[in-house]
A and B are shown apart, each in its own frame.
Chain A
């Protein structure tokens, strides 16, 4: 078995979700690496969009900012934030990857404050474009380490919508219909959401981990799919491309 680290695992798994010809709204870091890896593997015609206006760049290296020059290097269009977010709002964007300091069982994310809003323990950046992407893109995914401090019963602040309170609550909220959290990819497992309750559910377990490990590192009860498979580890080819072409300086994969 190939030797790989947690970031390489999550990025490889995430990249396989992005089919050829789809559109994906990404930020810097791991999401961008996953999209770049997908383009170099099975999805050369994956269209990458950056919220500040870059549409379908040929990324020469990992961007530092979602608005730096690389995000529209040899792009199809250097547009505006309105161009991107309006496309999302009209239903043109299939996927997005988001993250946060906290996530709950419905995939709601917190990136605003730890503690009370008026008197926070830690002030975090806020939504940025996360709430917008999660409101509009058809399928929202999260890549994050599995950790009970991160996977919490209740987020301190719901910055970004998942399935809200579960059930039909998102459909009733006014957010666009049929869009929402799709997969949660961690170093230990891949989760989806049970279709009726909209609760997070384990669908595959990463090599080297057990169902117990996953539950022990989660602050709420996870559902389990009827059939749980083992997650495919990163292949030699994925690792080579990731290390040599996508992130040669190890900014994201840390090598």
Chain B
């Protein structure tokens, strides 16, 4: 195949599907109890230098508790898929946990504005950056999920986003049209937060899927954090609801409010006050250090973080907000 053009960005993950198949060949298929604490899961499955995938979109159904644990354990030199990475990126930037990033959407928190902490870290020169787009990263995960080395798409051509990506361009053998070839992306380890999972890792979530089904299939190791554990009987009673099958999963961690301060659909809405506090505090290094200690480094786990921020009362309030109850406050 003749390559017509190619981006000059670095390709951080080898797209060879036979290497991925080789890895999956060795993965345990048995129905075994995979429940453990998030602390143990991060300790066991996240290595310094790994390429990390984070599920959800923006601060929605995003495994925030896992990001905190990555900071607490001081994981470093990670690669990171910045697929509408907002508050998760803010946390990982605060801990300088990654040193290379595939950018689709970073630094911003959508309508809330830009994170000065994420911005400073990307501007520091400490991070290698390759540019993509949200759909490009979705397609790259889809390629890995399919077990092929790349997929063609018709976006990004003609732009600097292509020039600073690691995509290539070639002519379609059927139509003669130009196509962007997007290389498969299989993260070493990913976290996805869901509503319910059984002890084996069969997982369900409600609401939009974003790109999580492909992320689950593409990732070498997958850690599910869930709002609630459910029985295997319940999974078998309603198999149409299973979104992620157990054999993709390495660990199941029950972490209620694991997406806080983001939104968990049908459970709780985002805590905008707390996110605002993040965004104002991160501008002052001393205050920010104290803030991170209080919310992340000096708390034991997500329960500690929730207690630090209003506990069950706050969570109940955010639940009422999710369901659009009007209330005075």
Contacts and interface: CB of A to CB of B under 8 A. Distances in A.
Most chain A CB within a 10 A radius of its CB, from B58, B103, B206, B213: B58
Contacts of A128: 84, 104-105, 133-134
A120 B110 contact: no
Interface core residue of B107, B212, B272 (most chain A CB under 10 Å): B107
B60 A65 contact: yes
A112 B138 contact: no
A29 interface: yes
Contacts of A175: 154-155, 157-158
Contact of A82 (B61, B103, B155, B211): B211
Given A127-B131, A159-B161, A160-B161, A67 B60 contact: yes
Interface residues of A, number: 57
Contacts of A158: 159-161
B309 interface: no
A136 B154 contact: yes
B19 interface: no
Nearest to A159: B161
Contacts of A248: none
Contact of A65 (B107, B111, B119): B111
Contacts of B212: 80
Contact of B209 (A79, A124, A159): A79
A52 B57 contact: yes
B180 A174 contact: yes
B154 A129 contact: no
A65 B122 contact: no
Given A66-B110, A158-B160, A169-B158, A52 B58 contact: yes
A212 interface: no
B161 A174 contact: no
B25 interface: no
Given A89-B154, A126-B104, A79 B161 contact: no
B7 to A, nearest CB: 12
Nearest to B212: A80
B158 A170 contact: yes
Interface residues of B, number: 64
Interface in A64-80: 64-69, 71-72, 78-80
Nearest to A157: B160
Given A136-B155, A169-B158, A64 B131 contact: no
Contacts of A89: 153-155
A78 B135 contact: no
Interface in A151-167: 157-161, 164
Interface string B144-173: 000000000111111111001000010000
B142 interface: yes
A53 B208 contact: yes
B322 interface: yes
A195 interface: no
A239 to B, nearest CB: 22
A86 to B, nearest CB: 9
Given A123-B119, A127-B133, A128-B134, A135 B209 contact: no
B155 A126 contact: no
A108 B178 CA distance: 20
A122 B207 CA distance: 35
B112 interface: yes
Contacts of B169: 174
Contacts of A112: 131, 160-161
Contacts of B105: 125-129
Given A123-B122, A127-B131, A128-B104, A69 B211 contact: no
B125 interface: yes
Given A52-B60, A128-B133, A174-B180, A71 B208 contact: yes
B108 interface: yes
B94 to A, nearest CB: 16
B1 interface: no
Contacts of B123: 120, 122-123
Contacts of A122: 119, 123
A125 B155 contact: no
A125 B154 contact: no
30 contacts: A52-B58, A52-B84, A52-B210, A53-B57, A53-B208, A65-B110, A67-B56, A67-B57, A67-B60, A67-B61, A69-B265, A69-B322, A72-B265, A78-B209, A81-B209, A81-B211, A85-B138, A89-B154, A112-B131, A123-B123, A124-B114, A125-B108, A126-B106, A127-B104, A127-B132, A130-B133, A132-B155, A157-B164, A159-B160, A164-B159
Given A72-B208, A131-B155, 15 more contacts: A64-B111, A65-B58, A67-B57, A80-B209, A123-B122, A124-B108, A127-B131, A135-B154, A135-B156, A158-B160, A159-B160, A160-B161, A164-B158, A170-B158, A175-B158
In the complex, the 6 A-B pairs of residues with the closest C-beta atoms, listed nearest first: A174-B178, A53-B208, A173-B158, A128-B105, A67-B57, A132-B135
